[in-house]
């Protein structure tokens, strides 16, 4: 079902209703137009956001937790970081934070009218012996919690489990998650202590393939979550192993940040290259065309919106294997995604900036979607934008899809 212009106007009217101030009324009218254009030509029933985080502090018995350093005065930077995340996601009282987070997320998802959202669990760091190490884990969101949330909100949520392959119960956890409707597995190797290129993952990959569960995995440098000295685990070339095992892999953020060792060079003379360039080498290898995908989450953030975003926009032949992801709650934080910077770099029309910011004030999920639909880059006489297909579920990528 394609969303009509009338539907889009009604949606914006709901989001920005009751605006008494002339400024808000002005922006409401312009937001209507931007949302209508963003939805033009898309099948609303197939809209999909593949990258939505669920976090909590364990209030209400959810099993979530955050590292105690996040609330310690001895770590003021981490305390400030938690403050930004909490404010952006509607967590005003840590005694009820988990319910506040999911209540706001559910409301934003339904009000956005943007189809379905894949909500992500987050595994703990495990040591080489497969033991969870909470002291090295910045935050943890259990599979059970995410699966329960998805069951209660089937109209908007799809569950993504997170299973550490070194866990001695990993295969059982995969089976249990799949039986309860999980549509993918999420890793952040740098933060979780996972080497995707290790032979010890082979049994895990074999089970993933048999269950037709794709792997959504961070690649490149990680800065939002503490990764200590484990950044090389995010090397895109380490993903050859799951690909060679027949697992479908979705590279988060197109590996658009940092540098990694070029593992294709002789070991003694290896040099560091942009992780994004190593990702492109993998992505353009014809052997991986049916298995390797990437999401565009976080690519509009301040520290990521340079050359990789420009190149992804211009490489139209790659768009069929790109999927959208918001990386919520980060779109709610103005310091993380600066529309003014994107306009200065030529990605947005200057007149879009204040209107997009007004949409963000009402619904960060809708803001992220409209922003990415407005992105463009000019090269000579040509203008490049993300293809419509990026924002809808690719057939066959996820179970049942």
Q: What is the pLDDT of residues 294-304, one digit of tens each?
A: 999 999 999 88
* Of residues 203, 166, 206, 159, the one with CA closest to residue 185: 159
Does residue 363 surpass a pLDDT of 60?
Answer: yes
Choose from 64-78, 129-143, 170-184, 353-367 the range with maximum mean pLDDT. 170-184
Burial of 376 (0-12, 13-18, 19+ CB in 10 A): middle
As a whole number of angstroms, the distance between CA 276 and CA 256 comes to: 5
pLDDT band per the 50, 70, 90 thresholds, residue 17? very low
Q: Which helix (H) or strand (E) holds 392?
A: none
Q: Which two tokens stand for residue 320?
A: 């069929």
List, for residues 35-89, the tens digit of each pLDDT value.
999 999 999 889 999 999 999 999 999 999 998 887 778 778 877 877 777 877 7
- 3-state SS, residue 295: strand
- 3-state SS, residue 92: coil
Q: Are 209 and 244 in contact (CB under 8 A)?
A: no
Q: Are 279 and 304 in contact (CB under 8 A)?
A: no
Q: Which residues contact 322 (CB under 8 A, 6 or more apart)?
A: 254, 293, 294, 295, 296, 312, 386, 387, 389, 390
**Predicted model pTM:** 0.91
Does residue 372 surpass a pLDDT of 90?
Answer: yes
Bridge partners of 293? 250
Residue 78's alpha-carbon distances to 66, 139, 385, in angstroms, are 11, 12, 36
Q: Which helix (H) or strand (E) holds 107?
A: helix 97-112
**pLDDT value of position 188:** 95
């Amino acid at each position: 079902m394609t969303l009509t212009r009338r539907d889009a106007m009604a949606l914006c009217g709901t989001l920005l209703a009751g605006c008494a101030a002339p400024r808000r009324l002005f922006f409401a009218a312009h937001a209507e137009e931007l949302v209508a254009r963003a939805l033009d030509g898309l099948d609303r029933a197939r809209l999909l956001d593949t990258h939505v985080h669920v976090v909590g502090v364990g209030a209400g018995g959810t099993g979530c937790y955050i590292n105690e350093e996040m609330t310690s005065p001895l770590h003021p930077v981490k305390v400030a970081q938690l403050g930004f995340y909490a404010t952006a996601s509607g967590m005003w009282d840590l005694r009820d934070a988990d319910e506040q987070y999911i209540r706001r997320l559910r409301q934003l998802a339904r009000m956005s009218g943007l189809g379905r959202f894949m909500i992500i669990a987050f595994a703990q760091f495990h040591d080489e012996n497969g033991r969870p190490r909470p002291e090295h884990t910045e935050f943890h969101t259990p599979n059970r919690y995410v699966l329960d949330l998805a069951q209660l909100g089937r109209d908007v949520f799809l569950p993504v489990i997170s299973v550490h392959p070194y866990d001695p119960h990993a295969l059982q956890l995969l089976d249990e998650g799949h039986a309860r409707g999980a549509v993918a597995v999420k890793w952040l190797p740098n933060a979780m202590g996972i080497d995707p290129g290790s032979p010890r993952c082979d049994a895990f990959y074999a089970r993933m393939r048999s269950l037709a569960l794709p792997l959504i995995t961070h690649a490149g440098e990680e800065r939002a979550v503490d990764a200590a000295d484990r950044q090389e685990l995010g090397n895109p070339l380490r993903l050859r192993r799951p690909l060679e095992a027949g697992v479908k892999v979705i590279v988060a953020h197109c590996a658009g940040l940092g540098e990694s060792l070029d593992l294709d060079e002789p070991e003694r003379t290896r040099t560091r290259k942009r992780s994004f360039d190593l990702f492109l080498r993998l992505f353009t290898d014809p052997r991986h065309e049916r298995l390797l995908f990437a999401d565009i989450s976080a690519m509009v953030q301040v520290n990521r919106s340079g050359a990789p975003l420009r190149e992804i926009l211009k490489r139209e032949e790659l768009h069929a294997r790109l999927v959208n992801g918001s990386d919520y709650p980060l779109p709610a934080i103005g310091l993380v995604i600066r529309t003014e910077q994107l306009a200065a770099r030529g990605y947005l029309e200057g007149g879009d900036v204040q209107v997009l910011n007004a949409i963000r004030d009402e619904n960060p999920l809708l803001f992220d979607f409209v922003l990415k639909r407005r992105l463009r880059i000019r090269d000579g006489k040509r203008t490049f934008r993300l293809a419509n297909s990026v924002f809808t579920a690719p057939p066959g990528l996820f179970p049942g899809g």
